[in-house]
């Protein structure tokens, strides 16, 4: 039985619901810090930093938390767990900061300055499951084996320096760049990775920290000889998507289409002369199954969102609230992230408000589909000048680029040659052995909105580049032609887009067996691959995809039991 409550420093900037749920899952109660005076009384503070460094420091100052927090941390003898930005703010300063007179220094517990990953050398942000090289033994890592990876998502990192070397608990490498992945100085602990999103491994980190607080052993660390040339590897992620909608009986179900058509082919349960909506299960229980089976990430897509009007009615909010209680890997939610005007009340919700509701309900990332195509059209109309007003820009400014995924829904437009296709479209040669109905050997990928219902005169490569420019952090790249076919991912599309952008790309649509994962990771630059139908129908297990990846020397995340 826990003898103290965990003091949670939630300054209202993002999804701290999962941190709450993770602490609760470890058997501890939480007390929110709402008054600066609570800080000096706390037994253990958990600070899950979300957003940007500058805004975090600014909000701490505005709320009056800054000074008591500096005092709490000054002797490094009071228990503290900082997460992600909560680690970065422990350093002296960061490049992710307004320069000049408005600059607010960091908390200064750990020497050094936080800097940005070099976009010329690697995809930025660093998103996904990566390992850790141990520099010190600590009770915090008592239940965690070095083979288990943890989940990272960040564009800035803390470099290893002579001055901070003795505070390093673990380091990690990303595309050859070493950085500090956790620190401990006395009883002050912080992780760059997200324990609350790192599955059971992450829960074990939180448990290790809280137990050590409980029994007074937190500062009992011992230095280790570590291998300075050791490297860790970022795993290629397997994402499971759950397309969610209400069926003809009014139940919220996970469905799955063939080329985005989610109705049964046979004419029983006829609706408008067609079959009923396919029902493959309930969203929360199916997602929980995938968590247990080792999915690295789960995406819920509200596929009828183009019809819905009222934010309060969005069923996905409840789905996320429930799912985030027991699922501790990243959750993405998509469908309907745009501004709405309620036709009945006339009330308008901005895209930022809609996204904020989802983040508060437990989403780590939101995914924008149709609105990203509209934003690209506006960007082109303005000759590449950003308005600062698009949903992508606004949400990414407040929640960070890593929280903004763009879902692209293109379909192939075949061409006999490159000539004759409008120069503004990026034409690819079909080097995957496929061809058009008349033997065409080229195609471009035409973007659609409203779940494939409306085609736009704009290609997937253009949208991908534009959304990166607007501040998106990741691309979920579907292909309507391949969706539900089980014939493999659209490799020419995956290659074209992953070569065109420096943000991570998630390949989607068409997976039918383990080899398709090996193929897309070996032959294109995507960082993650998503499947739906084959997992829902239990045709292929997530772990057998990972085994096939490992056999082919593709890094896959180990799941601890």
Select from 66-74, 221-229, 257-265, 539-547 the region that touches ligand 1PR (CB under 6 A): 257-265
Nearest residue (CB) to ligand 1PR, 204 versus 278:
278
Q: Which is nearer to ligand 1PR, 82 or 335 (CB)?
A: 335
- Establish whether 194 is a catalytic residue: yes
From the list 68-76, 202-210, 366-374, 513-521, the region that binds ligand 1PR by CB under 6 A is: 366-374
Q: Should residue 283 be labelled a site residue for ligand 1PR when binding is judged by CB under 6 A?
A: no
Using the rule CB under 6 A, is 445 a contact of ligand 1PR? no
Q: Which two tokens stand for residue 95?
A: 């490049």
Tell me which stretch binds ligand 1PR (CB under 6 A): 29-37, 223-231, 418-426, 509-517: 509-517
Q: Establish if 546 lies at the interface with ligand 1PR (CB under 6 A).
A: no
* Catalytic status, residue 479: no
CA–CA dist 428, 122 (Å, integer): 24
- Among 84, 167, 447, 479, the one annotated catalytic: 84
Longest CA–CA span in the chain (Å) reads 75
Q: Which of 371, 393, 474, 514 binds ligand 1PR (CB under 6 A)?
A: 371
Using the minimum distance from each CB to ligand 1PR, give the nearer residue, 202 or 533.
533
What value, to the nearest 5°, has the Cα angle with vertex 488 and ends 483 and 493? 75
Alpha carbon of 171 to those of 154, 184, 193, 205: distances in Å?
A: 15, 12, 11, 15
Kind and range of the H or E run holding 380 = helix 370-381
**Stretches 107-115, 263-271, 308-316, 507-515: which one binds ligand 1PR (CB under 6 A)?**
507-515
Residue placing its CB nearer to ligand 1PR in the complex, 123 or 409: 409
**DSSP character string of 254-313:** EE--BTTB-B-SSSTT-BTTBPPBP----HHHHHHHHHHHT-SEEEEEETTTTT---GGG
Residue nearest ligand 1PR, Cβ-based: 451
Shortest distance, position 478 Cβ to ligand 1PR, whole Å: 5
Q: How far apart are the first and last CA of the chain?
A: 23
**In the complex with ligand 1PR, which residue's Cβ is closer, 204 or 236?**
236
* d(C-alpha 442, C-alpha 44), whole Å: 60
User: What is the Cα Rg of the chain in Å?
Assistant: 24
Task: Please name the residue that has the structure tokens 């020397």.
Answer: 553
- Of 192, 390, 468, 509, the one binding ligand 1PR (CB under 6 A) is 509
196 labelled catalytic: yes
Instruction: For residue 429, give every residue at least 6 positions away whose Cβ sits within 8 Å of its Cβ, in sequence order, or none.
Output: 441, 442, 492
Contact yes or no for 197/112 (Cβ under 8 A): no
Task: Determine the interface stretch with ligand 1PR among 131-139, 201-209, 219-227, 525-533 (rule: CB under 6 A).
Answer: 525-533
Q: Which of 451, 471, 492, 525 binds ligand 1PR (CB under 6 A)?
A: 451
Nearest residue (CB) to ligand 1PR, 194 versus 338 = 338
Active-site option among 96, 297, 364, 409 = 409
Instruction: Answer yes or no whether residue 532 interacts with ligand 1PR by CB under 6 A.
Output: yes
| CB environment 446-484: b (16+ within 10 A), e (fewer) | bbbbebbeeebebbbbbbbbbbbbbbbbbbbbbbbbbbb
* Helix (H) / strand (E) containing 493: helix 491-500
- Selected from 11, 179, 260, 414, the binder of ligand 1PR by CB under 6 A is 260
What minimum distance in Å lies between the beta carbon of 262 and ligand 1PR? 5
Residue 94 binds ligand 1PR, judged by CB under 6 A: no
Under rule CB under 6 A, residue 533 binds ligand 1PR: yes
- Cβ atoms of 287 and 317 closer than 8 Å: no
Helix axes 199-215, 17-25, angle to 10 degrees: 60
Per the annotation, the verdict on 204 as an active-site residue is: no
467 lies in the site for ligand 1PR, by CB under 6 A? no
Q: Does 407 bind ligand 1PR (CB under 6 A)?
A: yes
- Residue 241 or 404: which CB sits closer to ligand 1PR? 241
Judged by CB under 6 A, the residue of 125, 208, 335, 471 near ligand 1PR is 335
Closer residue to ligand 1PR (CB): 211 or 483:
483
Per rule CB under 6 A, is residue 301 in the interface with ligand 1PR? Answer: yes
Candidate residues 56, 368, 394, 461; the one interacting with ligand 1PR per rule CB under 6 A: 368
Task: Let me know how long the chain is.
Answer: 561
User: Please, are residues 368 and 407 in contact by the beta-carbon 8 Å criterion?
Assistant: yes
Each as own residue / partner, the long-range contacts of residues 421-429 (CB below 8 Å, 24 or more positions apart, any chain) are 422/457, 424/458, 424/459, 424/462, 425/459, 425/462, 426/459, 426/460, 426/461, 426/462, 426/496, 426/500, 428/492, 428/493, 428/495, 428/496, 429/492
Question: Residue 386 corresponds to which tokens in the numbers above?
Answer: 């950003």
- Total residues contacting ligand 1PR by CB under 6 A comes to 33
Q: d(Cα 153, Cα 14) in Å, to the nearest integer?
A: 14
Catalytic site includes residue 26: no
Q: Are 421 and 415 in contact (CB under 8 A)?
A: yes
Residue 243 sits in the site that holds ligand 1PR (CB under 6 A): yes
Token pair of 550 as six digits? 């490992």
Q: How many helices (H) and strands (E) does the chain have?
A: 16, 30
Out of 49, 125, 369, 410, the residue judged to bind ligand 1PR by CB under 6 A: 369
Contact residues toward ligand 1PR (CB under 6 A) are: 241, 243, 256-257, 260, 262, 301, 303, 305-306, 334-337, 367-371, 407, 409, 451, 478, 483-484, 508-511, 530-533
**Catalytic residue list:** 84, 194, 196, 243, 409
């Amino acid at each position: 039985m826990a003898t103290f409550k965990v003091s949670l420093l939630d300054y209202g900037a993002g999804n701290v619901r999962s941190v709450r749920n993770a602490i609760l899952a470890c058997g501890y109660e939480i007390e929110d810090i709402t008054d600066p005076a609570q800080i000096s009384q706390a037994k253990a503070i958990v600070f899950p930093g979300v957003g940007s460094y500058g805004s975090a420091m600014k909000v701490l100052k505005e709320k009056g938390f800054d000074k008591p927090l500096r005092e709490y941390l000054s002797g490094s003898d009071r228990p503290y767990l900082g997460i992600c930005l909560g680690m970065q703010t422990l350093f002296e300063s960061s490049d992710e900061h307004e320069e000049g007179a408005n600059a607010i220094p960091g908390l200064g517990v750990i020497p050094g300055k936080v800097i940005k990953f070099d976009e010329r050398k690697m995809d930025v942000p660093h998103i996904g499951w990566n390992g850790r090289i141990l520099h010190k033994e600590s009770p915090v890592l008592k239940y965690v084996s070095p083979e288990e990876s943890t989940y990272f998502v960040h564009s800035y990192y803390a470099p290893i320096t002579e001055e901070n070397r003795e505070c390093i608990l673990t380091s990690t490498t990303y595309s050859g760049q070493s950085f500090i992945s956790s620190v401990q100085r006395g009883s002050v602990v912080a992780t760059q990775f997200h324990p609350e999103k790192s599955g059971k491994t992450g829960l074990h980190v939180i448990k290790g920290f809280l137990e050590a607080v409980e029994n007074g052993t937190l500062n009992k660390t011992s230095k280790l000889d570590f291998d300075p040339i050791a490297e860790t590897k970022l795993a290629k992620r397997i994402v499971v998507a759950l397309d969610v909608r209400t069926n003809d009986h009014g139940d919220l179900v996970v469905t799955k289409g063939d080329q985005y058509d989610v109705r049964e082919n046979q004419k029983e349960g006829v609706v408008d002369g067609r079959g009923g909506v396919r029902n493959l299960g309930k969203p929360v229980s199916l997602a929980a199954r995938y968590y247990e089976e080792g999915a690295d990430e789960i995406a819920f897509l509200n596929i009828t969102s183009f019809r819905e009007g009222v934010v309060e009615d969005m069923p996905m909010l409840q789905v996320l609230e429930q799912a985030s209680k027991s699922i501790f890997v990243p959750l993405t939610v998509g469908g309907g992230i745009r501004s709405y005007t309620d036709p009945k009340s006339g009330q308008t919700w901005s895209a930022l408000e809609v996204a904020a509701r989802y983040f508060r309900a437990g989403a780590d990332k939101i995914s924008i589909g149709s609105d990203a195509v509209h934003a690209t059209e506006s960007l082109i109309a303005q000759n590449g000048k950003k308005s600062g007003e698009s949903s992508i820009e606004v949400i990414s400014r407040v929640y960070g680029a890593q929280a903004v995924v763009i879902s692209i829904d293109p379909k192939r437009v075949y061409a006999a040659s490159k000539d004759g296709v409008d120069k503004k479209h990026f034409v690819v040669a079909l080097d995957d052995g496929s061809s058009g109905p008349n033997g065409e050997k080229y195609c471009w990928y035409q973007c659609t909105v409203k779940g494939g219902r409306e085609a736009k005169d704009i290609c997937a490569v253009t949208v991908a580049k534009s959304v990166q420019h607007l501040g998106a952090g990741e691309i979920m790249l579907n292909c309507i032609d391949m969706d539900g076919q089980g014939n493999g991912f659209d490799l020419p599309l995956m290659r074209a887009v992953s070569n065109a952008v420096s943000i991570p790309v998630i390949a989607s649509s068409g997976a039918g067996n383990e080899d398709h994962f090996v193929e897309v990771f070996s032959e294109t630059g995507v960082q993650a691959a998503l499947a739906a139908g084959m997992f829902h129908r239990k045709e292929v297990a997530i772990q057998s995809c990972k085994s096939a990846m490992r056999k082919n020397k593709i890094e896959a995340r180990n799941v601890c039991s």
